Amino acid sequence: MSLPTIKRVLLKLSGEVLMGNQQFGIDPEFVAELAKEVKAAKETGLEICLVIGGGNIFRGMAGAAKGMDRAQADYMGMLATVMNALAMQNALEQLGVQTRVQSAIEMDKVCEPVIRRRAERHLEKGRVAIFAAGVGAPYFTTDSGAALRAAEMKCDALLKGTSVDGVYDSDPKHNPDAVRFDTVTYDRVLADNLKVMDASAVALCRDNKIPIVVFSIREKGNLARVLAGEGVQTIVQDL
């Protein structure tokens, strides 16, 4: 099973990949490496929307587990995603790639608000559109934000670049016999609670027929390989 022709893609990066080999925060050298991958993908003629998580800085669930109010903690998580978006914007622009950041929580000193038609224009002009602050509401994750933006920007696929090379039938970090799927259906992911994205993100992609491609962004050149249909990945779509 292969992907349809991709002209416009939404690339979702987990916040943790911005840490590089650190335990926390942002490693500018690693962000620069990621930016090179995005630039190379863009030079193949793709239109690119980017969503970056915030887990390298703060996750609402972790705050709530330590007694914080969940919504308050989630707003902190959303602000973390804006920091990551600005770091990626900086890295891309240092490579000469034009970008715009649009945040679902308005902060007009640092970026634009999310305006779909304006984002369309950015893509037409060859800019990378970076969407920050998820859906702008607590009790969601940036996976849901990525699915939402992929749907409204009519992306041909949602690429989830993370630290594992696909979707497994059990956690490969704990089970050495875990088996990676080449393709798997949305319904199987939801029924078996496979760790791809949260359920609302998977359902939104299923309802809008957006394939989800899960791959490791940690190896150099992997984004280009995946886009060329050559990489190690799992594609989530209807069979």
Q: Which residues bind ligand UDP (CB under 6 A)?
A: 14-16, 53-55, 59-61, 74, 77-78, 80-81, 134-135, 137-138, 140-145
Which residues face 101 on adjacent strands? 130
Q: What is the C-alpha separation between 59 and 141, in angstroms, rounded?
A: 9
Q: What is the C-alpha separation between 121 and 204, in angstroms, rounded?
A: 24
Signed CA dihedral, 129, 133, 139, 143: sign only: positive
Question: φ, ψ for residue 52 (rounded to 5)?
Answer: -120, 135
Q: Which residues does 165 contact at the CB level (< 8 Å), separation at least 6? A: 180, 215, 216, 232, 233
State in angstroms the smallest separation of the CB of 187 from ligand UDP. Answer: 23
State in angstroms the smallest separation of the CB of 85 from ligand UDP. Answer: 12
The alpha carbon of residue 200 and the mean position of all alpha carbons in its chain are separated, in whole angstroms, by 15
227 close to 41: Cβ distance less than 8 angstroms: yes
State in angstroms the smallest separation of the CB of 51 from ligand UDP. Answer: 8
Judged by beta carbon, residue 152 or residue 185, the one nearer ligand UDP is 152
State in angstroms the smallest separation of the CB of 173 from ligand UDP. Answer: 15
Judged by beta carbon, residue 41 or residue 78, the one nearer ligand UDP is 78
Judged by beta carbon, residue 185 or residue 203, the one nearer ligand UDP is 203
Judged by beta carbon, residue 24 or residue 126, the one nearer ligand UDP is 24
213 close to 234: Cβ distance less than 8 angstroms: yes
Judged by beta carbon, residue 77 or residue 166, the one nearer ligand UDP is 77
Determine the residue with CB nearest ligand UDP.
Answer: 53
State in angstroms the smallest separation of the CB of 5 from ligand UDP. Answer: 27
State in angstroms the smallest separation of the CB of 20 from ligand UDP. Answer: 14
Judged by beta carbon, residue 3 or residue 61, the one nearer ligand UDP is 61
DSSP string, 89-153: HHHHHHTT--EEEEESS--TTTSEEP-HHHHHHHHHTTPEEEEESTTSSTT--HHHHHHHHHHHT
